[in-house]
């Protein structure tokens, strides 16, 4: 009888050991498979790490000495992705931004240069490419600053790639309250004494005034700032001034860009101001015309 109980006990122990071994073999794939499978987790982590904070992004370049154009870009990010891109330029000679000028038929790459598409159309294609790829580095550049990555785009796109990266690296930029665009205002008539009619050109990007050009035009069609730069106005030579007219006008422009409000430039009864050191020219027209131009930006 004792022998029978011993055999039965050994049999039960053997069955238990085999069951335990079976459980370990069946459990092994459950515990090790997730550790070696990354397909389900890697994309989500990559997307999360590549997202940008929602908001507006802005960057600008410098004026090109040859062309006189200065590039800038405004990006908006929504749900972590680039949703819109506005790549544009302003001119050191005043006037509308490059897109507005081109849309008005005054840049003329197709008409004058036999291009397949006008500048603003090619710029739109380049902006769309950036939005599709979500990465400025996808705009590969050759030595000329052009790209073969975007079909039908023959213009220089180095500014688009570089400024997009600069804007995204800098992080969101607080937008202003104005409506983006180019704005122009001018006097009603030529001044009977000076012969000049004042003009103001403003460009707004990301809701802020990023560019201001205060000048004038005479009946001969001369631009007042250019006239002064060429030494024909002669405030220093003829009037003993410390600065030329265009230099003082540019100081007034910089003041407006800093303050973002023409009303910040207080004017006395003579139409001059004490708000800007070294500025002795009449700036009343600059204030009045800037306010007039910005009426369309509200």
Q: Specify the pLDDT at position 267.
A: 97
Tell me if domain 55-170 and domain 181-297 are identical in fold. yes
Give yes or no for residue 4 having a pLDDT over 90. Answer: no
Task: Give CA–CA dist 215/94, Å, rounded.
Answer: 8
Is the pTM higher than 0.85? The answer reads no
| Dihedral over alpha carbons 244, 246, 252, 253 (to 10 degrees) | -160
Mean pLDDT for the stretch of residues 174-203: 97
The CATH number assigned to the domain with range 55-170 reads: 3.90.1010.20
- pLDDT digits 0-9 by tens, 99-137: 999 999 999 898 888 888 999 999 999 999 999 999 999
Q: What is the mean pLDDT of the chain?
A: 87
pLDDT digits (tens, 9 = 90+) for 211-222: 999 999 999 999
Q: Where are the domains of the chain?
A: 55-170, 181-297
Q: What class does CATH assign to 181-297?
A: alpha beta
pLDDT at 112: 85
Confidence of residue 6 (pLDDT cuts 50, 70, 90): very low
User: From the centroid of its chain, how far is CA 267?
Assistant: 33
DSSP per-residue string spanning the chain: -HHHHHHHHHHHHHHHHHHHHHHHHHHHHHHHHHHH--TTTHHHHHHHHTPPPSEEEEEE----TTT-EEEEEEEEEETTEEEEEEEEEEETT-SS-HHHHHHTTSS-HHHHH--SS-HHHHHHHHHHHHHHH--GGGS---TTS--SSSTT--S--HHHHHHHHHHHHH------SSPSEEEEEE-SS--TTT--EEEEEEEEETTEEEEEEEEEE-TT--BHHHHHHTTSS-HHHHH--SS-HHHHHHHHHHHHHHHS-GGGS---TTS--SSSTT--S--HHHHHHHHHHHGGG-
Q: What is the pLDDT of residues 29-67, one digit of tens each?
A: 433 333 333 333 333 333 444 589 999 999 999 999 999
Write the burial class of residue 41 (CB in 10 Å: 0-12 exposed, 13-18 middle, 19+ buried).
exposed
């Amino acid at each position: 009888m004792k022998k029978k109980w011993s055999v039965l006990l050994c049999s039960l122990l053997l069955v238990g050991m085999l069951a335990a071994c079976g459980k370990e073999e069946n459990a092994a794939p459950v515990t090790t498979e997730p550790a070696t499978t990354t397909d389900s987790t890697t994309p989500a982590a990559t997307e999360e790490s590549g997202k940008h904070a929602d908001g507006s992004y802005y960057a600008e370049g410098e004026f090109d000495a040859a062309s006189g154009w200065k590039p800038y870009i405004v990006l908006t990010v929504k749900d972590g992705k680039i949703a819109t891109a506005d790549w544009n330029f302003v001119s050191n000679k005043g006037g509308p931004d490059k897109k507005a000028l081109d849309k008005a038929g005054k840049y003329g790459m197709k008409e004058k240069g036999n291009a397949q598409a006008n500048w603003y159309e090619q710029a739109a294609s380049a902006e769309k490419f950036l939005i599709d790829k979500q990465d400025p580095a996808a705009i590969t550049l050759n030595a000329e600053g052009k790209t073969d990555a975007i079909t039908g785009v023959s213009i220089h796109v180095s500014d688009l790639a570089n400024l997009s990266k600069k804007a995204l690296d800098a992080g969101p930029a607080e937008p202003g309250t104005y409506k983006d665009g180019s704005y122009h205002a001018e006097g009603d008539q030529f001044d009977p004494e000076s012969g000049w009619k004042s003009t103001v050109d403003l460009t707004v990007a990301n809701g802020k005034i990023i560019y201001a050009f205060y000048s004038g035009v005479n009946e001969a069609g001369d631009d007042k700032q250019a006239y002064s730069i060429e030494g024909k106005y002669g405030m220093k030579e003829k009037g003993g001034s410390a600065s030329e007219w265009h230099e003082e006008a540019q100081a007034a422009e910089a003041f407006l860009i800093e303050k973002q409000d023409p009303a910040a430039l207080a004017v006395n009864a003579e139409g001059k101001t004490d708000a800007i050191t070294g500025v002795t020219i009449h700036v009343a027209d600059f204030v009045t015309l800037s306010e007039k131009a910005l009426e369309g930006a509200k």
